[in-house]
Amino acid sequence: MKKLVTFLILATVLFCSCTKPQNASGRYAASIQIKGSDTIVNLIQVWAEKFVAQYPTYNIGVTGGGSGTGFASLINKTCDIAMSSRRIEKKEKLLAKSNNIEPVEFKVGLDGLAVLVNKNNPVDKLTLVQLRDIFMAKITNWKEVGGEDRKIVILSRESNSGTHMFFKERVLRQNGKSAGDEFSVHSLMMPSSQSICDEVYQNPNALGYVGMGFLNDRVKAISVAIDESGGYVYPTSENVMNGTYPISRPLYLYTNGNPNGIVEMFIEYTLSEAGQEVVVETDFVPIKRQK
């Protein structure tokens, strides 16, 4: 596992100021706010720190809370960039239009969702159908999927999370084949990906899902197959990039209209070779292969 900078995310919100004022007046030359997805908040933070190291009179604040929070902030004009692990929804587009906001989308990386179990759990592979049945509580005991006789504890992100929505659409609803299916009412809704990792670490019966950037040696990721006839694939950057890992997705930044000034400079940096190297360093997948 690559070395990555570790950040503390308290509940659903993270805020940081990336530099101190450096110009003669003691004020920032420019300051922007980025809000949204907890999945990519660490990636955005590293980008922000490296960016302001080049431009020390600029300030970038980064706040988590979920993709829905990011879109709401963009629509309400309380952020300059929304970060999201899903595409903007039709209802959000309508709200944006009613508030004279024109969301412009930038795909800045790729991510695979890893399904986590406790390190002492003998289960190390599941199919998408088995995952669907577990998260809908049709399968309730680990012995039904090759584990010990223990009740499964289901962990999910909260509904405003892009990670929650993607997992529901890809796994529970099978990309539209089972529209309307929802997580079991017995699922424990967790405020952040880090809280899922922490709970899986301490609970031998737990199972949850997080972005690959949250993988660590305290928990175990399982291999996933589309069905029993297919091969089981472990969540790695290479497997996301080559399309063999079945639970993967793009990552986005959104601005109000075509960006300019510091916002444009930051977007351009994230898409540059140096910016995409940061994607790799933080265990996500670049949109372009690195040399």
Helices 67-75 and 90-98 sit at what angle, rounded to 10 degrees?
20
CB count within 10 Å of CB 136 equals 18
More confident residue, 8 or 101: 101
Among 100-109, 131-140, 243-252, 263-272, which stretch is predicted with the lowest mean pLDDT?
A: 243-252
The yes-or-no verdict on residue 221 having pLDDT over 90 is yes
- In the predicted structure, residue 17 carries a pLDDT above the cut 70: no
**What pLDDT does residue 268 have?**
97
Mean model confidence pLDDT for the chain:
89
DSSP type of residue 217: T
Cβ partners under 8 Å of residue 59, min gap 6: 17, 18, 19, 21, 28, 30, 31, 32, 52
Query: Which tens digit of pLDDT belongs to each residue from 34-75?
Result: 999 988 999 999 999 999 999 999 999 999 999 999 999 999
Please tell me the least confidently modeled range out of 35-39, 110-114, 140-144, 160-164.
160-164
Which pLDDT score, from 0 to 100, does residue 243 have?
86
Pairing relation of β-strands 103-117 and 220-221? antiparallel
Residue 289 has pLDDT above 80, yes or no: no
